[in-house]
């Protein structure tokens, strides 16, 4: 994992970062309806498939890898890793696991399955220890669909990494639709960037 510090004096986004991080701190969320028909047609397991697709697009664009590290420095990770929640029915609580991103889908799916087998029965918020600093968060609420979802983070104005929340999928005519909420920081991500993310994500799912 490499963290490349940003030189604010020559950074093309510095004016926008200063405006939306310091002058008028601003985060926002966008909820979209993804067509996951191809995932279901191929009988792929939904959660690992979506984790892989999300991580692929996150790692494609620097605005989704920009962060403030543990030393308080602004920079860009060369790679981001999905950290995701799993639910324990008996206690009605969740735990966080993480799986290294592997560009090959089959290899990633195998790594996910290994993590689920090894850590999936662990209780507590951190189900898999030694969480790396270059993770982005994904969660799923498979009990209900939604048209809008927003996280209210007390310290959200200092958090630059995107957060993804999925809901219950449903059928719409011949399509199967999955709601996805994306929370981002305006200091590093404009409407153009989040729309490009969604479009590329849908293209990847379709392919």
As annotated, the active-site residues are 186
Q: How far apart are the first and last CA of the chain?
A: 29
Contact between residue 134 and residue 81 where contact means Cβ atoms under 8 Å apart: yes
Contact between residue 181 and residue 150 where contact means Cβ atoms under 8 Å apart: yes
**162-192 CB burial, b ≥16 within 10 A, e <16:** bbbbbbebeeeeeebbbbbbbbbbbbbbbee
Using CA atoms, how far residue 160 sits from 81, 113, 133, 186, 198, in Å, is 15, 29, 13, 8, 18
Query: Which run of H or E residues covers position 114?
Result: helix 105-119
Q: What are phi and psi of 57, to 5 degrees?
A: -75, -40
d(CA 65, CA 197): 13
d(CA 125, CA 155): 19
């Amino acid at each position: 994992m490499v963290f490349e510090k940003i030189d604010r004096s020559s950074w093309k986004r510095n004016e926008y970062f200063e405006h939306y991080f310091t002058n008028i701190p601003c985060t926002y969320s966008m909820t979209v309806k993804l067509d996951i028909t191809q995932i279901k047609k191929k009988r792929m397991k939904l959660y690992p498939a979506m984790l892989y697709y999300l991580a692929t697009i996150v790692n494609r664009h620097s605005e989704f890898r920009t962060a403030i590290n543990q030393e308080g420095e602004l920079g860009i990770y060369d790679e981001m890793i999905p950290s995701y929640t799993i639910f324990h029915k008996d206690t009605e609580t969740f735990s966080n696991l993480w799986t290294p991103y592997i560009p090959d889908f089959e290899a990633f799916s195998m790594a996910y399955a290994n993590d689920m087998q090894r850590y999936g029965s662990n209780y507590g918020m951190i189900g898999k220890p030694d969480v790396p600093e270059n993770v982005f968060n994904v969660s799923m609420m498979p009990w209900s669909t939604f048209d809008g979802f927003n996280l209210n983070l007390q310290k959200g104005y200092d958090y630059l990494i995107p957060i993804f929340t999925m809901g219950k999928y449903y059928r719409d005519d011949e399509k199967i639709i999955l709601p996805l909420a994306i929370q981002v920081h305006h200091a590093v991500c404009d409407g153009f960037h989040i729309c490009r993310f969604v479009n590329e994500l849908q293209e990847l799912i379709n392919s």
